């Protein structure tokens, strides 16, 4: 796969030992949406930010849905495979460590990141999932042992019920992931407090796992 398959932005790492953050926007976003967030969460990291290739009423997404909260699972599997292949191609083009990729996804972007964890284990070294739900349940759970995952969610989220996020947390734990769950009394939008908690978590994870990231 050519890296041009996804319209994207790449910013090389300032620190040679820093990980690569895979930035995955929500519905209606694009490859510029999370760049500032990525820079703030880990200054010096490489940033790889693709734009979702599916359009819903003109708004980019990473996979199709049949209605709100109801996903096209066949399309989801295809799109997750495409994104996995894109990561491999991008690591060759830009020269970053393919074993040191940490996803930072919001909403639809968090759901495709969770899909990468569940369908393509080994592609991501860690993940920050803001406002996510179970995208699908694989027939066989992957081995996600030693994979750190941060989930940020809002108790007042009108798009994703708390029970849906809790189900994702349970599924990832069953697969062996080291899940940190953080709740805010907020809605679907990102807020400063959950970003701060995720940033502190990320810095700790990178410090502990520098040899892998």
Helices (H) and strands (E) in the chain, counts: 5, 11
pLDDT higher than 60, residue 213:
no
pLDDT score, position 193: 95
SS (H, E, C) 13-52: CCCCCCCEEEEECCCCCCCCCCHHHHHHHCCCCEEEEECC
Active site residue 107: yes
Q: What's the pLDDT tens digit per position in 23-81?
A: 999 999 999 999 999 999 999 999 999 999 999 999 999 999 888 778 999 999 999 99
Identified catalytic residue from 42, 107, 115, 131: 107
Identified catalytic residue from 33, 49, 115, 157: 157
pTM comes to: 0.96
Domain ranges of the chain: 3-208
Instruction: Note whether 74 and 80 are within 8 A (CB).
Output: no
Over residues 140-151, mean pLDDT: 96
The structural architecture, per CATH, of the domain 3-208 is 3-Layer(aba) Sandwich (3.40)
Active site residue 157: yes
Identified catalytic residue from 8, 120, 182, 188: 188
Q: What's the pLDDT tens digit per position in 127-136?
A: 999 999 999 9
Rounded Cα–Cα distance for residues 108 and 126 (Å): 17
């Amino acid at each position: 796969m050519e890296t041009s398959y996804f319209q994207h932005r790449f910013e090389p790492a300032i620190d040679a030992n820093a990980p690569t953050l895979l930035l995955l926007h929500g519905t209606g976003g694009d490859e510029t949406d999370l760049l500032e967030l990525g820079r703030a969460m880990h200054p010096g990291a490489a940033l790889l930010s693709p734009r979702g290739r599916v359009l819903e009423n003109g708004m980019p997404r990473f996979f199709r849905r049949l209605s709100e909260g109801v996903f096209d699972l066949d399309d989801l599997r295809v799109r997750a495979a495409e994104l996995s292949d894109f990561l491999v191609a991008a690591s060759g083009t830009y020269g970053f460590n393919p074993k040191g990729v940490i996803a930072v996804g919001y909403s639809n972007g968090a759901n495709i990141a969770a899909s990468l964890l569940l369908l393509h284990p080994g592609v991501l070294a860690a993940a920050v999932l803001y406002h996510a739900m179970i995208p699908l349940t694989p027939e066989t759970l992957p081995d996600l042992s030693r994979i750190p995952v941060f989930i940020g969610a809002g108790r007042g989220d009108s798009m994703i019920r708390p029970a849906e996020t809790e189900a994702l947390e349970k599924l990832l734990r069953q697969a062996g992931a080291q899940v940190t769950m953080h709740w805010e009394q907020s809605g679907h939008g990102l807020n400063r407090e959950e970003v701060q908690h995720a940033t502190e978590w990320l810095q700790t994870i990178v410090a502990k796992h520098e040899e892998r990231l």
